[in-house]
């Protein structure tokens, strides 16, 4: 089955620093990857849609200059949280699919804590 | 974002009982509906998906869809303590992205 690897699983960083999270599709090519954020006791909220070779599409209210998304290849998308603040502490999850209509596979998530 | 509403619970049922989870959605044009299970601190895992009106059964799970009422439900028969988790209803958008409800916390009491 399709496997999506997300790394790191946990990261603690100091306020003001940047953190990069990687999402890789291991056994399939993902033309589209999605990034979600989940605060405690809340649901997953779609942050952005990442298309290989083009700019990401951000959901309303998500700062594109703060959450940098790069999808340089068909198997790798990265999310960089720039100048992180404690309010950015959250569970970040990526998902990937082979193409339109195909089921998406979720990564294992990254727990970000900004201190 | 599309609105997907769920009762946050918590919902408690005794072991062996039927757990009923409900979800409504705002976009009448939505076509694909999903139920995910999420354990604390983990990523969601797919339980079932349904595209057509009516019932779809898979083992102990039955998904029900009523597009006219914009309503999706999940029934879990013979509930087990291992079913205790948060259940997320999701609607798929035209770009294959998912819009999730807030989730319903289910506890199955042994």
Position A107 confidence tier, pLDDT thresholds 50, 70, 90:
very high
Residue A82, class by beta-carbon neighbours within 10 Å (0-12 exposed, 13-18 middle, 19+ buried)?
middle
Identify all chain B residues contacting A43, using CB atoms and an 8 Å cutoff.
88, 100-103
CB contact under 8 A, B1 and A34: no
Residue A104 and residue B98: Cβ atoms within 8 Å?
A: yes
Residues A107 and A35: their CA atoms lie apart, in Å, by 10
Do residues A37 and A112 touch, judged by C-beta distance below 8 A?
A: no
Inter-chain touch A43–B46, beta carbons under 8 Å: no
In this prediction, residue A13 carries a pLDDT of 96
Give the model's pLDDT for residue A1.
Answer: 67
Q: How much is the pLDDT for B1?
A: 56
Q: Do B98 and A46 touch (CB under 8 A)?
A: yes
* pLDDT single digits (tens) A36-86: 999 988 889 999 998 888 889 999 999 999 999 998 888 999 999 999 999
Q: For residue B96, what pLDDT band results from cuts at 50, 70 and 90?
A: confident
Can you give the pLDDT at residue A8? 97
Q: What average pLDDT does the segment A85-89 reach?
A: 96
Give residue for tokens 């035209």.
B94
Q: What is the mean pLDDT of the segment spanning B2-16?
A: 90
* A2 touches A104 (CB < 8 A): no
pLDDT band at B77 (very low <50, low <70, confident <90, very high): very high
A30 contact partners, CB below 8 Å, separation of at least 6: A4, A52, A74, A75, A77, A96, A97, A98
Find out whether B30 and B94 touch, Cβ atoms under 8 Å: no
> What per-residue confidence (pLDDT) applies to B95?
75
Q: What is residue A72's DSSP assignment? A: E
- Best mutation target among A43, A62, A101 (most B Cβ atoms within 10 Å) is A43
């Amino acid at each position: 089955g399709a496997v999506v690897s997300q790394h790191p699983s946990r990261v603690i960083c100091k306020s003001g620093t940047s953190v990069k999270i990687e999402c890789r599709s291991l056994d399939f090519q993902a033309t589209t990857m999605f990034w979600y954020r989940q605060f405690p006791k809340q649901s997953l909220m779609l942050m952005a849609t990442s298309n290989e070779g083009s700019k990401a599409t951000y959901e309303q209210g998500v700062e594109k200059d703060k959450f940098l998304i790069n999808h340089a290849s068909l198997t790798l998308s990265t999310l960089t949280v720039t100048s992180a603040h404690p309010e950015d502490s959250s569970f970040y999850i990526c998902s990937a699919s082979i193409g339109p209509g195909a089921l998406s596979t979720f990564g294992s998530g990254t727990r970000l804590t900004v201190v | 974002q599309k609105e997907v509403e769920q009762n946050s619970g918590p919902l408690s049922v005794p072991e062996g009982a039927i757990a009923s989870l409900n979800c409504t959605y705002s976009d009448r044009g939505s076509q694909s509906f999903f139920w995910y299970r999420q354990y604390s601190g983990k990523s969601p895992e797919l339980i079932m998906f349904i595209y057509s009106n009516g019932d779809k059964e898979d083992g102990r799970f039955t998904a029900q869809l009523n597009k006219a009422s914009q309503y999706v439900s999940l029934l879990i028969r013979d509930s087990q303590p291992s079913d205790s988790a948060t259940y997320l209803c999701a609607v798929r958008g035209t770009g294959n992205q998912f819009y999730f409800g807030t989730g319903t916390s289910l506890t199955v009491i042994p």
